[in-house]
Structure 1
Amino acid sequence: MDVADLKTFEAVARHGSMNKAASELHTVQSNVTARIRALEDELGLPLFRRHARGVIVTPAGQRMLPFVGRITRLIAEVQAAAQDDGAPSGSLTLGSLETTTALRLSPLLTEFAKTWPSVRLVVSSGTTARLVQDVVEYRLEGAFVAGPIDHPDLHQEAIFTEELVLVASPGVQSLKDLTKIPDLKTVVFQFGCSYRQRLETFLAGLGIVAARPLEFGSLDAIVGCVSAGVGVTLLPRAIVASAHEAGKVSIHRLPREVARVETLFIRRHDGYVSSALAAFLEMARRVYRTSKAKAAPEKKAA
């Protein structure tokens, strides 16, 4: 069984399309089709059901997928370990919440890039649910997500804590005003965002059943819609501080159990910790430990 065939199978299963898999693998569709047929012939059973819009993984294919991910990742880790001489280099593929990227990661990524220029660092954004899945399925080496997380395959480490606030249009003076808004809408990231889940639970506790949420893929779009009075959202206080100071939005404190959220760095228990990943984590701990230390005197003085 050829590793290239397994990688092709995984790509087709993920995209549900031979053509999209071919584009990702930088080859032509006929090569993808040939590899899948060869794999099916070797196994003696179909891995996909074809239809007009693409393919669907068969039950046999579904049973294979977890093993394919482990095999391909293990081979990649073998190659990485063989080439890892202790000096951070090579690629490092991470994920992060968009809010974390915008609010926290800039100084860390800048310092890391300057300190270790030989590392090809790639950071993609997504919801907590999506990032957890990508780490579990070996597509990311690690990710910054919102806690709590409970998954047997994941190692997690608290990096910093955020204070969430409810964000509304300037005309909303208090949380009580929300109960007076007919068909209140939430303006949120796509399904799987933990902030979204907290917001829906909090509103339900106020007796508010929000209308169908409006989903956006960018932070700027969410803040802009909230400012215009389209709906409300839940975001870290620091993210919306400038918009609040400019009078574009109102922010409202929440009970501690709703407002306090830990940002965790997750990685697989069985994943290879490369020199690049180890250096990144060491720098993250130092940078955010320093940030906390600087913030402490301000809190005490307040």
Structure 2
Amino acid sequence: MDVADLKMFEAVVRLGTMKRAAEELNTVQSNVTARIKALEDDLGIPLFQRHARGASATQAGQRMLPFAGRIIKLMADARAAAMDDGEPNGPLQIGSLETTTALRLAPLLSRFTAAYPEVQLTVTTGTTARLVTEVLEYKLDGAFVVGPVNHPDLHRRMVFKEELVLVTPISIGTPKELKLNGRLKTIVFRAGCSYRQRLENFLACMGIANAKPLELGSLDAIIACVEAGVGVSLLPRGVVASAVKVGRVSAHTLPAEQADAETIFIRRKDAYSSNAMRAFLELYQPAQKEEGLVMSAWTIA
């Protein structure tokens, strides 16, 4: 068993077929098939169930997958640490909520890419649940998510606070009017979005438990659907401020316990903090101070 075998194993589990794994790894399918068979022979147990659609991990394969990911990441960190001299360089994979990307990250990303052109920065958007999982699985170096997030393997730092507002069509004068709508829809991101869960809890407290979710993939689409009267949403005030100003939608203030949301930056405790990551965190801190936001001190291992 070596790192190359584990990379092939992880790719087959993730992609579901030997062919797709071979394409991603820039090799031939017969090589992947042979290496996976050799790995199974070495362990003395099948790692995949072969079928017409491809290959699915057995229970043994599923148990092995997290260890394969950790070993692959550890080897990548070792290589990065050995070569991590001088100016920040190399890949840096950051995750973020779409709302955070739209509202907060653009100035930072502009400053960072200008200051450190040798860093290959990638920003992936997703829900809090998905981003937490991808940080834990070493797929992301860090991510901006909505707290609280409590996991023993994660560093957590609050970076700023948001005020969430109920976003409705302008025809809705107060949130109480929603109880009169027998076919209320919530316009939300997919399952795992913390704002979606808060909206469902808010409506439940109002006695509205039958609202049907409409899942969309972008902020612009959500705001447009609310404007068209399709349903309601829950978003940071800053995200909808321009739409409210021109009268496209209404934003309703919520009680503090429902409106206050903390955005935190998470990363694994055992992951190597490269010069690129250090530069990213150090550049971000003064940017937030300029906005007068409360910051916790970064801990950089």
Corresponding residue for residue 65 of structure 1: 65
Q: 1:225 and 2:225 equivalent?
A: yes
Q: Which residue of 2 aligns with 1:98?
A: 98
Structure 1 residue 51: Cα displacement:
2.4
Per the alignment, residue 80 of structure 1 pairs with 80
Asked if structure 2 preserves the Cα contact closer than 8 Å seen for 1:203 and 1:210, the reply is no
Residues 30, 231 of structure 1: CA spacing in aligned structure 2 closer, same or farther, 3 A cutoff? farther
CA contact (8 A) 1:200 1:210 kept: no
Show the counterpart of 2:35: 35
Q: Does 1:207 align with 2:177?
A: no
Contact kept, 8 Å, 1:153 with 1:269, in 2: the verdict is yes
Paired with 2:189 and 2:19, the residues of 1 have a C-alpha distance of: 29
Matches within 5 A, 1:135-214: 135-214=135-214
Q: Percent identity?
A: 62
Equivalents in 1 of 2:225, 2:48: separation in Å? Answer: 42
Instruction: Find the aligned partners of 2:29 and 2:116 in 1 and give their Cα distance.
Output: 38
For 2:277, give the aligned amino acid. L
Task: Using the TM superposition, give the Cα deviation of residue 293 of structure 1 relative to its aligned residue in structure 2, in angstroms.
Answer: 5.9
Q: Comparing 196-205 with 44-53, which one deviates more in the overlay?
A: 44-53
Structure 1: how far apart are the matches of 2:168 and 2:63? 46
User: Hey, what does 2:260 align to over in structure 1?
Assistant: 260
Return 5+ residue gaps in structure 1 as ranges: 295-302
Q: Quick one: distance in 2 between partners of 1:27 and 1:138?
A: 24
**Structure 1 residue 86, shift from structure 2 partner:** 4.2
Q: What's the Cα RMSD here?
A: 1.4
Measured against aligned partners, the alpha-carbon deviations of 1:67-86 in whole angstroms (never above 9, x if no partner) come to 11110000000000000114
> AA paired with 1:91?
P
Q: Residue 245 of structure 1 corresponds to which residue in structure 2?
A: 245
Of stretches 5-14 and 102-111 in structure 1, the one that deviates more from structure 2 is 5-14
Q: Name the counterpart of 2:297.
A: none
Q: What is the deviation of 1:21?
A: 2.6
Q: For residues 22 and 231 of structure 1, do their structure 2 counterparts lie closer, same or farther at Cα, with a shift above 3 Å needed? A: farther
Q: What is the distance in 1 between the residues matched to 2:293 and 2:43?
A: 58
My pick for the range that moved more, 14-23 or 227-236, is 14-23
Question: Greater shift after overlay, 129-138 or 282-291?
Answer: 282-291
**Which is further off, 131-140 or 239-248?**
239-248
Amino acid at match of 2:89: S
Q: Compute the displacement of 1:286 (Å).
A: 1.0
Distance 1:163 1:74, change over 3 A: same
**Structure 2: 5+ residue runs without aligned partners?**
295-301
1:298 maps to none
* Structure-2 change in CA distance of 1:249 and 1:20 (3 Å): farther
SS in 1 for 2:185: coil
Inter-CA distance 18–85: structure 2 relative to 1 (3 Å threshold) = same
Residue aligned with 1:186, SS? strand
SS at match of 2:212: coil
Residues paired across the two proteins, number: 294
Are 2:94 and 1:132 equivalent residues in the alignment? no
Supply the AA of the counterpart residue of 2:30. S
Task: Describe the shift of the 1:213–1:23 C-alpha distance in structure 2 as closer, same or farther (beyond 3 A).
Answer: farther
Cα distance per residue 1:265-289 (max 9 Å; x no partner): 1000111011110110011111012
Q: Quote the residue 1:297 is aligned against.
A: none
Partner Cα distance (1:217, 1:27) in 2: 34
The residue identity in structure 2 corresponding to 1:258 is: Q
Amino acid at match of 1:197: Q
In structure 1, give the amino acid aligned to 2:214. L
1:125 Cα deviation (Å)?
Answer: 0.6
**Could you state the TM-score of these two structures normalised by the residue count of structure 1?**
0.94
Distance 1:250 1:28, change over 3 A: farther
Query: 1:29 and 1:221 mapped to 2: Cα distance?
Result: 41
Partner Cα distance (2:97, 2:235) in 1: 12
3-state SS of paired residue (1:213): strand
Deviates more, 1:212-221 or 1:130-139: 212-221
- Aligned 8 A contact 2:7 2:72 in 1: yes
- Report what 1:51 is aligned to: 51
